[in-house]
Amino acid sequence: MSSPYSDIDLDDDPIMIPQCGHMMTVSNMDGHLGLSNHFEMSLEGHPTALKGESQPFDAQDLKTCPICREPIRSLNRYNRIIRRGLIDESTRKFITWSNTTFAPLANKVQDIESDFADSQKNSERHEKQQVQICSEDQRPVVKLDKGRNHFLNYIKKIVVLTSRFKKAYGVRQNVVAFQRKVSDGEQPYGRIWDLVENERRRKGSSNDHFPFQVDVLQPRSRLLGISLAVRCDLAIISEFLAVQAQQSGLLAADDFRRAILDIDFAQARQECLNLADEAASKHQPLVQVEARIYFARFAALERTFNQGLSKAERAATMREQGLEQLGVAIDISKKHPGSVKGLSGQIEAIRRMLNDGTFYSVVTSQETQEVYAALSREFRGTGHWYRCANGHPFTVGECGMPMQTSRCPQCGAQVGGQNHQSVTGVTRDDEMERRMGALTLGE
């Protein structure tokens, strides 16, 4: 590397100049970037074949100029190595951004729940004088059975409720935007896969030799995003149903409370079960429990507020199915007490709704909010970064040393440890920790 330029045989060992402008011979650059770790090399030093498939998080760090440390990004000879590092770095930033963004959003949803709970208390104090309402034959039947979006669009069209739900719909818009940003297609690996697929379709070629590795994607933020969206929708729907049921006066012809609501949350409940099943397969117990609680809340709302002809028939079924899912949620909570906290109050309120047919406001507990906050702190440098036996990154919060075992959400390998001792195969990732500690995130 320190040889004078005049001593270099450019025919035998050409010069390479990265974008920073510092010169290096091909042989030195090959050694610096570890070309022989990725390719079979000929005696003359030329790549002849791949050594194996490039695996996620193979690259320990971004490749940089050994003189000035500027990242190397545009040398075609090393594109495979450079791109691997860039993709891994993007994924690490995605993990950090998504987890640090989620907790503030969850706090906003809790604020909405608290506001609605307070409004219900005020309503209970100020009314109760029943006056004649319009007869049944003057009340239109509104069937709401096409999922959460159908119900929310119905609420949004009621002009007199615009100011009441304005803040809630603003928060929901932010939650939906977050959910979209953490979807599989928006993650770094997902975007690259889409680009490859589009090119293959354009050329009409097969993708059999380039299968998509599902375990490369980061499932936790996506599942948390779906769960938070359902929770936000439940807050809005619950508040609307409670308001709509307060028929305390002679109703005008255009009063939205005149409508007889024929409610069927079957589609929403199925979405909750699908979310619970996926969360179980990805080893995400908090989302799994939340999804089953949401199922029970939809069942309780349908039992309490459905005014359709089949109300009596469905009430018993909703009670039975809701209580069943609450039982499953409790069992999961007992198996994962460290990951699932503060949900007992919600479970009890929903149990009373299912048994009594009476509406109770449900607000996420402070304990659960602390779990969300811990997810955010976990990626702000308060813990230490490690890699599982297969090289996937994870962090240990609190003191930064492992105190319990778990499973890597990407490959299922055992991670963590006991009494500050990591399990076999887990290694400390000091380079990742250094970069993440200095990372500044923007929207």
* Short-list 224, 265, 260, CA closest to 244: 260
Q: What is residue 402's predicted lDDT score, i.e. its pLDDT? A: 53
Nearest of 166, 164, 181 to residue 229 by alpha carbon: 181
Q: What pLDDT was estimated at residue 229?
A: 96
Question: What are the distances in angstroms from CA 115 to CA 43, 50, 122, 296, 346?
Answer: 73, 60, 11, 22, 17
Torsion of CA 129, 134, 136, 137, to 10 degrees: 180
Residues 20, 68 contacting (CB under 8 angstroms): yes
Q: What are the phi and psi torsion angles at 51 (to 5°)? A: -80, -25
Residue 386 parent element (H or E): strand 384-387
Contact 318, 356 (CB under 8 A): no
- Spell out a b/e string for 142-181, using b for 16 or more CB atoms within 10 Å of the CB, else e: bebeebbeebbebbeebeebeebbeebeebbebbeebbeb
- To which H or E segment does residue 320 belong? helix 311-335
Going through 124-238 in order, the beta strands assigned E by DSSP cover 141-144
Residue 331 pLDDT: 93
Considering the entire predicted model, what is its pTM?
0.72
pLDDT (0 to 100) of residue 236: 94
State how far the Cα of 38 lies from the Cα of 422, in Å rounded to an integer. 29
> Which H helix or E strand runs over 188?
helix 188-203
C-alpha span between 109 and 87 (Å, rounded): 33
Taking the CB of residue 132, how many other CB atoms lie within 10 A of it? 8
Per-position pLDDT tens, the chain of length 443: 466 777 777 888 888 888 888 888 888 888 888 888 878 888 877 888 877 666 555 555 677 888 888 888 778 888 878 777 777 778 878 888 888 899 899 999 999 998 888 887 766 544 444 444 455 556 777 888 888 999 999 998 887 888 889 999 999 999 999 999 998 888 887 787 777 778 777 877 765 555 555 556 778 889 999 999 999 999 999 999 888 887 544 555 566 777 788 889 999 999 999 999 999 988 888 899 999 999 999 999 998 888 766 677 788 899 999 999 999 999 998 888 777 777 777 888 888 888 887 766 666 656 565 655 555 555 544 456 677 776 656 665 544 445 566 666 444 567 666 665 667 777 776 655 555 554 444 44
Which residues, at least 6 apart from 227, have a Cβ–Cβ distance to it below 8 Å? 275, 287, 290, 291, 294
- Cβ atoms of residues 383 and 397 within 8 Å: yes
Yes or no: say if 395 and 386 are a contact pair by the CB < 8 Å rule.
yes
Q: How far apart are CA 141 and CA 316, in angstroms?
A: 22
φ, ψ of residue 155 in degrees (nearest 5): -65, -40
Total Cβ atoms within 10 A of residue 11: 6
Measured in whole angstroms, the distance separating CA 61 from the mean position of its chain's CA atoms is 26
pLDDT attached to residue 443: 40
Map residue 360 onto helix, strand or coil: coil
For residue 441, the model assigns a pLDDT of: 43
Q: Which two tokens mark 388?
A: 């599982």
The amino acid at 359: F
